[in-house]
Structure 1
Amino acid sequence: MDMVKWAEKLMSMDEQSWSRHANPWSVYSRFSIMPMLSLAIWSREWVGYHCLVFILLCVLWVWLNPRLFSPPKDHNNWASKGTFGERLYLDRANQSLPAHHLVMAKALQWGSAIGLVFFIYGLWVLDIWVVILGNVWVMVFKAWFVDRMVWLYQDVKANKQ
């Protein structure tokens, strides 16, 4: 299962949204998703089924985020390069990419998925420390994945020159 490709399809990302998502504000603000979702789901204890409104707002933020910011004027930054690398990774069926990046990207995706287990369990039993562990775990692996995508982008770009 390719979680990144699945997420791209779910998000209906087109050329314009990818261009906007390369804005560092888009990339960095996406790290707010896990804590906001945690709070939205946890709020079921306080507001019952009305928590679904907060959960839907989080889902809306996930979809809206890559469309909200303007395309960056400068692409020479970690966030933009990570976005470009992710696009290369998603198109890996149509081009040859260094195998060491592909193996590591898969490992990082699975590492992030393990964090989701803690995240979900912590929210199920309402254990704040397990929820925090899940949040940190997922965000560390996501940041590591983006960093790997920067490396992939730089390697591919260097090999084309």
Structure 2
Amino acid sequence: MTLERKVAEAFSMSDDAWIRHANPWSGWTRFLTALPLLIIAVWSRVWLGWWSLIPVAIAVFWIWLNPRIFPKPQSTNNWISKGVLGERVWLNRDQIPVPQHHHFMPNILNAISAFGGIVLVWGLIVLNIWITLLGFTLVTLGKLWYIDRMVWLYSDMKDVNQEYQSWLY
């Protein structure tokens, strides 16, 4: 089982949640709001003390809720939807192998995002805005490039499997 599938299961990502997350409104609102909300929520400990756990819980709830509240998209023939579909293909690579040229970069980009996450957490711990912004930038750029790679992966894999092909409409 891939690490990505374990994460998806931890967030209870059913087939229905995945297709709803392929709605561009879900993909973009999650990408644009989830991390900033979490950063602000954690930073709010300066003003709210332990009460900051409430905005942190709300931010985490938003991350979980987002793929579930939007309807099935009218079309998945757009960049962000294909990125979400590619993520599904990537997490399923132990069941349906992906082309060799897709093996390296997603792991590198996830490593960049993970390193950015460590920098971001450090910035939040020491309350340094510049370290926090550097970490945020690394996470965001790594994730954007990762999504772009997932679009490419989906484009390469959509005709390999009938289920994958059915996701594009």
Partner of 1:107: 108
- 5 Å-filtered alignment, 1:104-143, equals 104-143=105-144
Deviation per residue, 1:8-46 (Å, 9 max, x gap): 021100011011000011111112111111110011010
RMSD: 1.7
* 2:73 equivalent in structure 1: 72
Question: Which residue in the other structure is 1:28 paired with?
Answer: 28
Structure 1 position 14 matched with structure 2 position 14: yes
Query: Helix, strand or coil for the counterpart of 2:94?
Result: helix
The unaligned stretches of length 5 or more in structure 1 are: none
Once residues 95 and 2 of structure 2 are traced to their aligned partners in structure 1, the CA distance between those partners, rounded to angstroms, is: 15
Residue segments in structure 2 that go unaligned for 5+ positions in a row: none
Structure 1 distance, partners of 2:63, 2:52, is 17
Higher helix share: 1
* Corresponding residue for residue 55 of structure 2: 54
CA distance in 2, matches of 1:120, 1:8: 22
Task: Name the counterpart of 1:87.
Answer: 88
Quote the Cα distance in structure 2 between the aligned partners of 1:4 and 1:121: 24
Number of the residue aligned with 1:96: 97
Q: TM-score, with normalisation over the residues of structure 1?
A: 0.94
- Equivalents in 2 of 1:2, 1:142: separation in Å? 18
- Report what 2:41 is aligned to: 40
Q: Residues of 2 paired with 1:126 and 1:147: CA distance?
A: 32
Identical pairs, percent:
44
